[in-house]
Structure 1
Amino acid sequence: MELTTMKTRIATSSSTSLRGLKLAALALGSSLVLAGCAGNPPTEQFAVTQSAVNSAVSSGGTEFAAVEMKAAQDKLKQAEIAMHDKKYDDAKMLAEQAEWDARVAERKAQAAKAEKAVKDAHEGVQDVRDEGMRSAQ
């Protein structure tokens, strides 16, 4: 009977240490994976963001959505600084925010231009009506 108890104790302690070893290996592996992700510069996001900012500028964002354009450009500069400091997670987050600010500026500029075109068209129609009324009299 004593022999059986001894085997049980040995088996329990070895499975406990094996479980601890597995957990340690899992923790180490997870931290290496996370460290690997944090170490990659977000160059693709920077390219997308720069393209969005350029597109917003081309569509008149600086004129029709100055606040959003300034926010996009400021965040892009902050992202570049974070990238230089190798703070890649911060750089990616700021670049994403800059991209969306630029997209908002572009849409706002497009909406403002469309609104102006509609207003000009209404004025043109009114001018034609006025001219028609004058010639009818």
Structure 2
Amino acid sequence: MELTTMKTLDAKTTVSRSRGLKLAALMLGSSLLLAGCASTPPSEQYAVTQSAVNSAISAGGTEFAPVEMKSAQDKLKQAEFAMHDEDYEKARRLAEQAEWDARLAERKAEAAKAERALQDARQGVQELREEGMRNAQ
């Protein structure tokens, strides 16, 4: 009985140590990967963000979503300063936030334009109805 218990404990200890080593290796690898990402400039993200800001401006974001556009442009400028200071993690985070602000501004502008077109269409229908009623009399 004692031998069986000892074998079971040895097997459990070996499995536990193996899992611990695997977990430690995974954590070390993840840390190195994150450290590697933090040391490279986020130039691709910056380019994507710049494109999103330009697209939002073209869509009328400055007119229909001025708060979101200002936020996107300010964060993009802060990201540029962070890249200049080589604070790449901050630059990446700000560029991502600026991208989402710009995309929101673009969607708001598109929605406002669609709403305006719908109102124009309704007004046109109403005018046609009134004209049709005048002609019917």
Counterpart residue identity of residue 102, structure 1 = A
Name the structure 2 match of 1:50. Answer: 50
Query: Unpaired segments of 5 or more residues in structure 2?
Result: 1-20
Tell me the percent identity.
73
Q: Describe the shift of the 1:125–1:43 C-alpha distance in structure 2 as closer, same or farther (beyond 3 A).
A: same
Name the structure 1 match of 2:96. Answer: 96
In 2, Cα distance between the equivalents of 1:53 and 1:37? 24
In 2, Cα distance between the equivalents of 1:66 and 1:28? 45
In 2, Cα distance between the equivalents of 1:136 and 1:105? 46
Q: 1:1-137 to 2 correspondence within 5 Å?
A: 33-137=33-137
**How many residues align structurally?**
113
Q: Describe the shift of the 1:82–1:127 C-alpha distance in structure 2 as closer, same or farther (beyond 3 A).
A: same
State the TM-score, normalized to the length of structure 2. 0.76
Using the TM superposition, give the Cα deviation of residue 135 of structure 1 relative to its aligned residue in structure 2, in angstroms.
1.0
Using the TM superposition, give the Cα deviation of residue 44 of structure 1 relative to its aligned residue in structure 2, in angstroms.
0.3
In 1, Cα distance between the equivalents of 2:130 and 2:31? 75
In 1, Cα distance between the equivalents of 2:30 and 2:131? 77
Q: Greater CA radius of gyration, 1 or 2? A: 1
Counterpart residue identity of residue 108, structure 2 = K
In 1, Cα distance between the equivalents of 2:40 and 2:56? 27
In 2, Cα distance between the equivalents of 1:47 and 1:122? 41
Runs of at least 4 residues off by over 3 Å: 26-35
Using the TM superposition, give the Cα deviation of residue 136 of structure 1 relative to its aligned residue in structure 2, in angstroms.
1.1
Query: Unpaired segments of 5 or more residues in structure 1?
Result: 1-21
